[in-house]
Amino acid sequence: MPTSVHIPKALLDDVDDRARRLGLSRNRVIVRILEKEVRQGSWPSGFFEPFRELGPRLARTVQRMEKATVRSRRRKVPRS
């Protein structure tokens, strides 16, 4: 389905460079990047774990940050 998206020139230049290096069309690169982002979601599983090992005070801060991030999501249910 044709869609119009406005992309800043510098970012589009980067997309074009990557497409050229991969031997793919600009469209194919953009679709792949979008597919990856939609499947992966915002925070990969285990993203916060290393921070929790830095001590209880930082662990509480990380936990608050994680909760705030989840609360601010537009989709209330994490993507599977």
Here the tokens at position 38 are: 């939609």
Residue 40: the pLDDT is: 66
Q: What is the share, in percent, of the chain residues with pLDDT greater than 70?
A: 80
- Domain residue spans of the chain: 9-40, 43-74
- The answer for residues whose C-beta is within 8 angstroms of residue 4's C-beta and 6 or more apart is none
Average pLDDT over residues 19-28: 93
User: What is the value of pTM for the model shown?
Assistant: 0.49
Q: Residues 64, 78, 52, 69: what is their CA dihedral angle, to the nearest 10 degrees? A: -30
